Amino acid sequence: MLEIEHGNGADNIDAVAMGSGAGVQLMPSFDDPHKERAYLKGRLALAFRIFAQKGFDEGVAGHITVRDPVEPSTFWVNPFGVAWPTLKASDLTRVNGEGKVVEGGPVKLLNKAAYMIHHAVHEARPDVNCVAHAHSVYGRAFSTLGRPLYIITQDACAFYNDIVHYKSFGGIVLEAEEGANIAKGLGNKKAAILANHGLLTCGKTVESTVFWFMSLETCCRVQLLADAAAAGRGGQVVKVNDQEAEYTYKTVGTELAGWFSAKPTFFAIERESKEDHLG
């Protein structure tokens, strides 16, 4: 598990924070993988509730997975057709490399597209523990334009040289080949815009993955608005230059930055849940 670092280097809190860190909850570490599993399932349940609160759920589309710390070749995912706003840790299903549900709650129905995409990414990226994909409104709208995300704001700098535009759309991902192609297209990046489809993000933690998705959705919205406003004036948006974008990325685009930025959202939904998500 990641822990907050202090000292020199880009991936630490000292670069952007002043004062004492007393009272700041650090990321927990576990000696027992079974305890870590229980913790991660709780965080994943919260992630679905956050996505629902943000309006990222539509019908039965979308999925978030987390690698199982006990059996890392398997992952936990939402059961197909179970509502996200009330999803609990006990509802989650564990899926193996062959796409078989080996453990889970009362509903053991697996979204085939979820398996095809997430298995491919988890297998290709041992550094990644969590993957998120949903059909969010602005991400979908942006994915139809056939263009990359422009680095036009400080927030967009989090994706500087860390996002891909996957230009192929082959319909619903029901075949292993398309899942493998998406994983190959993603490469070593943390985010992808899937043409005519939506957004995908990944990270070492559930929290960072969720934050990258929320932030990317907002960046897509901002660019749509900025492009429209600029076009109305007969001009173009102003991009952040490479030097400033790279400098800013080192602060806002790291794994720790994603995890830490998600803390308020997870804290709020956890308090609202009153531990119902752990049921």
The pTM of the full predicted model, rounded to 2 decimals, is 0.93
> Measuring CA to CA, which residue among 80, 96, 105 is closest to residue 277?
105
CA 91 – CA 41 distance, rounded (Å): 10
Assign domain 28-272 to its CATH architecture.
Answer: 3-Layer(aba) Sandwich (3.40)
Classify each residue of 204-214 as buried b or exposed e, where b means 16 or more C-beta atoms within 10 Å of its C-beta. Answer: bbbbbbbbbbb
Q: Which residues pair with 76 in a beta bridge?
A: 66, 94
CA distance between the termini of the chain: 24
Per-residue pLDDT of the chain (279 residues; tens, 9 = 90+): 444 443 334 455 666 666 655 556 677 889 999 999 999 999 999 999 999 999 999 999 999 999 999 999 999 999 999 999 999 999 999 999 999 999 999 999 999 999 999 999 999 999 999 999 999 999 999 999 999 999 999 999 999 999 999 998 888 888 899 999 999 999 999 999 999 999 999 999 999 999 999 999 999 999 999 999 999 999 999 999 999 999 999 999 999 999 999 999 999 999 999 888 987
* pLDDT given at position 6: 39
Domain ranges of the chain: 28-272
* pLDDT given at position 43: 98
